[in-house]
Amino acid sequence: MTPARTSITPPQDDPVKSPAPRALNRSLLRRVVRNTLVRIGVGALLAVMALGLCAPWLGTVDPNTGDFMNINVVPGTSGEFTLFSGESVPHIYWMGSDSIGRDIYSRLLYGTRVSLAIGAQVAIVAVLAGTLIGILSGYFRQLDGPLMRLMDAVMAIPGILMAVALVSFWRGGMATVVFSIAITEIPRVARLVRSVVLSVRDEAYVEAARTLDTPTHKILWFHILPNAIAPLIVQATFICAAAILVEATLSFLGIGLPADVPTWGSVMAGGRVQFTERPDVVLFPGLFLAVTVLAINLLGDGLRDTLDPKFNKRAGP
């Protein structure tokens, strides 16, 4: 009973309304852009990304070179940094140096690249794999039982424990870390997609496509999958944030990425033993981690508010 649906004049006399085509998507995009949470999240995230990308020009030095003359320098000290080649350059230790003389500021900025790359890759891998599994188990009834029990089994193992086990099982490296973290996130995506598929597969327009003899892959691609995109985008942001945290934990434990890759987790691990004298060694990477994860989560919340199907229901003109 929406007051504004059918007019009583015969439909042939009814002028067909003419808003711009694709008005639906444009207005949705406008709503997303206007959301305060999305704005804050995107702003903070862009700032963090810029730090990572522009690291070479932001007064950093090689994050892996230790200057034995400048061990455990306190934040804000200005002095000189001896490069690997033996040459000395003037340098300000904004965040001090660690116990083998590496510049923490440089390590954190370069670590930003690693964290964001891991977050994005895990989100992509988990969404792709989870979507595939979700579609298969939602649309093909006979696959539902086996696939979902497998997902239940994966979910039953604590994510971080699983990642630790997988990383120590394989050779360390970016691909291993991404894959290990992604595996623990796949079941959540699969369940989400499966629930969307189940709610849409019996919609009349899907049945109409079946009577038109539309091949199954086209039904899935054109009629079913578009319904999952909005919740998937939201889920992807949360996975990204979780993956960054898990990667930091793995690095903190000293497993996963090789020692020559600067990460926030490894900086924190280095600061652990001298926490009482130098709490800032743990504090600065913790701050980076917190801001990044918060930014991504805010973005996710904002997207959920605007893209959630509850607010996105369009019941006719």
| Least spacing, CB of residue 1 vs other proteins, in Å | 5
Report yes or no: 136 and 147 within 8 Å, Cβ to Cβ: yes
CA angle 234, 187, 41 (to 5 degrees): 20
**Of 57, 87, 171, 204, the one binding other proteins by CB under 8 A:** 204
- CA–CA gap between residue 133 and residue 115 (Å, rounded): 27
Q: Say which residues have a Cβ less than 8 Å from residue 56's Cβ, sequence separation at least 6.
A: none
Residue 78 CA to residue 73 CA, distance in Å, equals 9
Which region among 8-16, 27-35, 230-238, 297-305 touches other proteins (by CB under 8 A)? 8-16
- Identify which of residues 89 and 315 has a Cβ nearer to other proteins in the complex: 315
Residue 28 identity: L
Can you tell me the distance from the alpha carbon of 134 to that of 148, in angstroms, rounded to the nearest whole number?
9
Is 221 one of the binding residues for other proteins (CB under 8 A)?
no
Give me the least distance between CB of 204 and other proteins, in Å please. 4
Q: Please tell me the distance from the alpha carbon of residue 286 to that of residue 206, in angstroms, as a whole number.
A: 49
**Distance (Å, rounded) from C-alpha 131 to C-alpha 133?**
5
Q: Does 209 bind other proteins (CB under 8 A)?
A: yes
Binder among 169, 215, 258, 260 for other proteins (CB under 8 A): 215
Is there binding between residue 199 and other proteins (CB under 8 A)? no
Q: Does 107 bind other proteins (CB under 8 A)?
A: no
**Residue among 121, 124, 66 nearest 97 (CA):** 66
Near other proteins by CB under 8 A: residue from 223, 237, 238, 256: 223
Our finding on whether 17 is near other proteins (CB under 8 A) is yes
Q: Which of 90, 156, 213, 217 binds other proteins (CB under 8 A)?
A: 213
Site for other proteins contains 212 (CB under 8 A): yes
Given 145, 226, 254, 309, the residue binding other proteins (CB under 8 A): 226
Q: From the CB of 223, what's the least distance to other proteins, in Å?
A: 5
Largest CA distance in the chain: 89
Is 70 within 8 Å of 101 (Cβ atoms)? yes
Pick from 50, 198, 203, 239 the residue near other proteins by CB under 8 A.
203
The number of residues that bind other proteins (CB under 8 A) is: 39
Residue 142 found at the interface with other proteins (CB under 8 A): no
Residues 6+ apart with CB under 8 A from 55: 106, 109, 110, 112, 113
Q: Does 22 bind other proteins (CB under 8 A)?
A: yes
